[in-house]
């Protein structure tokens, strides 16, 4: 992929915005001289009002035109960001937020970045001032929505002025400030906050040329630091899809990291290496609740695995069934004798049986299976192939999650009277090698997710994109700017 070409104009826009806002901070805005001339000659100028004509040019090319018009209607068409025909501090604060969009993992072009320099440089042009007010309102709504829901969850037709409590916009900005209000829409998760902090540290560490390019929304594919910024940004986007706050105690699986965590009060209290699904049989992302676990479980082989992988082997050698401790069940659940079946007459379309692997140390699920409701028939379980945990790349299963510390996690689950058995009783049951299901008095959430970078122990870590999901997000967010 060739680097994206960029021009001096892009960088100049960013520089011009810096000059404009800096001048405003030092009372050097051209609008100041306009105010003096008005006072000197006592010229009466009608106050600016936003047009109520929705076909007006000031409403062109807005992301949330409906919400913008609803908001001005609620404000009786008074400007939100201007006062006495001049830009207010909150207007300059909003412009600074647009300039700083990249620090939030957002791209400034989504918030009228390229139009603002021309508008702020023409304070005597009333139509441009009205347009500036309108696009700042649109930018505020867009940034609030992107921070709360993500840039790829946009549903323009359904966004109304009250969807982000925008009817209180002017009051909340007046009392709290633009940045505080916008940041209130960000995810509250610790993972998001640490990743955002890592992004800001990275942006602050680059040279001025790269910094100006990045803050202008430009990403050069050939630059390693630019690629890192992109990867952090798409993972911040993933965090924005986490709608619900996480519980005080929960379990967390990060597929690209090949790791399982038990997190309590935002602290990792247990962690374990895992094996996840291959690229062809990917472990799905979902949330559920661990309800129970079974020791010395059966493994009911999923039909897809049975007919695609095992049936061709069985048709050549039926001893495969006995060697691997499988029972053959008919549709009523009765065990059938393998020798009584004409295996060659069955294929992927007409296979009427179910394979069930008997309990024991040779079972593919190992000696413990953790159960949580999901439509994918996915479990968290032990394994009889312990050697796989020593591999760096552990995308090796059919989709289920194999847990290295299954024994330790089972003991963790029954602590604090969460089950009717004690730790000693669990050890006794494991010694007896009999199949038992232990129910939990209170479930524990499990979240299976896909993050290709995160902060652990104050260190930013990047993982291989094992399922090649980053590329799809990058195409959507950066319009084909893929590395």
239-262: pLDDT as tens digits: 999 988 899 999 999 999 999 999
Average pLDDT over residues 415-419: 89
Q: What is the pLDDT of residue 171?
A: 75
Of the listed ranges 51-65, 167-181, 353-367, the least confidently predicted one is: 167-181
Domains of the chain are: 8-183 (no CATH), 190-243+454-478 (no CATH), 246-298+360-451 (2.40.440.10), 299-358 (no CATH)
Residue that the structure tokens 């893929």 belong to: 482
The answer to whether the beta carbons of residues 413 and 293 sit under 8 Å apart is yes
Q: What is the pLDDT of residue 256?
A: 98
Of the candidates 216, 143, 208, the residue with the CA atom closest to the CA atom of residue 173: 143
- Residue 165's Cβ-side half-sphere holds a number of Cα atoms within 13 Å equal to 9
Decide the pairing of beta strands 86-87 and 267-277: unpaired
Q: For the purposes of burial, counting CB atoms within 10 Å of the CB of 123, is it exposed (0-12), middle (13-18) or buried (19 or more)?
A: buried
Question: What secondary structure does DSSP assign to 402-464, as a single string?
Answer: EETTHHHHHHHHTGGGTSSS-HHHHHHHHHHT--EEEEEEEEEEEEEE--SEEEETTEEEE--
Average pLDDT over the chain reads: 87
The pLDDT tens digits for 444-477 are: 999 999 999 999 999 999 999 999 999 989 988 8
CA-CA-CA-CA torsion sign (459, 268, 387, 314):
negative
Of the candidates 235, 264, 158, the residue with the CA atom closest to the CA atom of residue 452: 235
Question: What secondary structure does DSSP assign to 220-270, as a single string?
Answer: -TT-HHHHHHHHHHHHHHHHHT--SPPPSEEEEEETTTTEEEEEETTEEEE
Average pLDDT over residues 172-182: 87
Q: How confident is the model at residue 18 (pLDDT cuts 50, 70, 90)?
A: low
Q: How far apart are CA 31 and CA 2, in angstroms?
A: 44
Q: How confident is the model at residue 213 (pLDDT cuts 50, 70, 90)?
A: very high
Question: What secondary structure does DSSP assign to 337-400, as a single string?
Answer: -GGGS-GGG--TTT---EEEEPSSTTSTTTTEEEEE--TT---EE--S-GGGGG-S--EEESSS
Residue that the structure tokens 């500036």 belong to: 132
Buried/exposed 32-60: b ≥16 CB within 10 Å, e otherwise: eeeeeeeeeeeeeeeebebbeeeeeebbe
Q: What is the pLDDT of residue 427?
A: 95
The answer to whether the beta carbons of residues 106 and 146 sit under 8 Å apart is yes
Question: What secondary structure does DSSP assign to 144-158, as a single string?
Answer: HHHHHH-TT---GGG
- Residue 133's Cβ-side half-sphere holds a number of Cα atoms within 13 Å equal to 27
Q: How far apart are CA 400 and CA 331, in angstroms?
A: 24
The first and second tokens of residue 151, run together, are 């840039």
pLDDT for 402 beyond 50: yes
pLDDT for 394 beyond 80: yes
The answer to whether the beta carbons of residues 48 and 82 sit under 8 Å apart is yes
Average pLDDT over residues 80-106: 94
Q: How confident is the model at residue 51 (pLDDT cuts 50, 70, 90)?
A: very high
In this structure, what is the dihedral angle of CA atoms 72, 75, 76, 79, given to the nearest 10 degrees?
Answer: -70
pLDDT for 2 beyond 70: no
Q: How confident is the model at residue 39 (pLDDT cuts 50, 70, 90)?
A: very low
Q: How far apart are CA 390 and CA 210, in angstroms?
A: 39
The answer to whether the beta carbons of residues 112 and 135 sit under 8 Å apart is yes
Residue that the structure tokens 């060697």 belong to: 323
- Report if pTM > 0.95: no
The pLDDT tens digits for 261-274 are: 999 999 999 999 99
Percent residues over pLDDT 70 in the chain: 87
Q: What is the pLDDT of residue 164?
A: 54
- Residue 295's Cβ-side half-sphere holds a number of Cα atoms within 13 Å equal to 17
pLDDT for 16 beyond 60: no
């Amino acid at each position: 992929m060739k680097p994206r070409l960029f021009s001096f104009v892009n960088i100049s826009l960013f520089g011009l915005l810096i000059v404009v806002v800096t001048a405003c901070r030092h009372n050097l805005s051209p609008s100041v001289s306009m105010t003096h001339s008005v006072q000197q000659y006592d010229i009466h100028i009608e106050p600016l009002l936003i047009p109520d004509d929705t076909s007006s040019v000031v409403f062109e090319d807005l992301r949330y035109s409906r919400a913008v018009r609803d908001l001005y209607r609620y404000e009786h068409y008074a400007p939100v960001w201007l006062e006495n025909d001049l830009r207010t501090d909150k207007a300059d604060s909003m412009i600074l937020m647009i300039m700083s969009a990249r620090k939030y993992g957002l791209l400034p072009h989504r918030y009228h970045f390229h139009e603002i320099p021309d508008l702020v440089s023409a304070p005597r042009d009333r139509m441009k001032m009205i347009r500036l007010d309108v696009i700042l309102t649109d930018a505020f709504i867009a940034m609030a929505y992107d921070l709360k829901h993500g840039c790829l969850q946009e549903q323009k037709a359904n966004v109304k002025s009250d969807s982000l409590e925008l009817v209180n916009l002017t009051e909340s900005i007046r009392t709290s400030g633009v940045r505080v209000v916008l940041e209130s829409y960000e995810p509250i998760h610790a993972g998001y906050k640490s990743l955002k902090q890592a992004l800001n540290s990275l942006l602050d560490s680059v040279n001025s040329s790269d910094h100006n390019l990045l803050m202008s929304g430009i990403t050069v594919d050939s630059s390693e630091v630019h690629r890192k910024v992109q990867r952090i940004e798409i993972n911040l986007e993933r965090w924005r899809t986490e709608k619900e706050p996480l519980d005080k105690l929960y379990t967390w699986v990060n597929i690209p990291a090949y790791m399982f965590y038990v997190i309590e009060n935002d602290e990792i209290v247990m962690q374990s290496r895992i094996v996840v699904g291959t690229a062809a049989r990917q472990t799905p992302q979902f949330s559920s609740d661990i309800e129970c676990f079974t020791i010395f479980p059966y493994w009911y082989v999923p039909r897809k695995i049975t007919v695609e992988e095992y049936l061709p082997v069985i048709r050549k050698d039926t001893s495969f069934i006995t060697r691997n401790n499988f029972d053959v069940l008919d549709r009523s659940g009765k065990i059938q004798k393998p020798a009584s079946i004409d295996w060659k007459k069955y294929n992927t379309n007409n296979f009427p049986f179910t394979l069930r692997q008997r309990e024991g140390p040779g079972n593919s699920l190992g000696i413990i299976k953790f159960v949580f409701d999901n439509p994918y028939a996915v479990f968290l379980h032990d394994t009889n192939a312990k050697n796989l945990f020593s591999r760096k790349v552990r995308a090796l299963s059919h989709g289920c999650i194999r847990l290295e510390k299954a024994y330790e996690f089972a003991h963790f689950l029954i602590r604090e009277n969460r089950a009717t058995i004690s730790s000693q009783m669990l050890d006794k049951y494991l010694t007896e090698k009999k199949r038992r299901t232990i129910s939990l008095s209170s479930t524990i959430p499990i979240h299976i997710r896909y993050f290709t970078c995160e902060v652990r122990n104050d260190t930013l870590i990047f993982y291989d994109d094992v399922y090649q999901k980053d590329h799809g997000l990058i195409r959507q967010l950066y319009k084909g700017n893929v590395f």
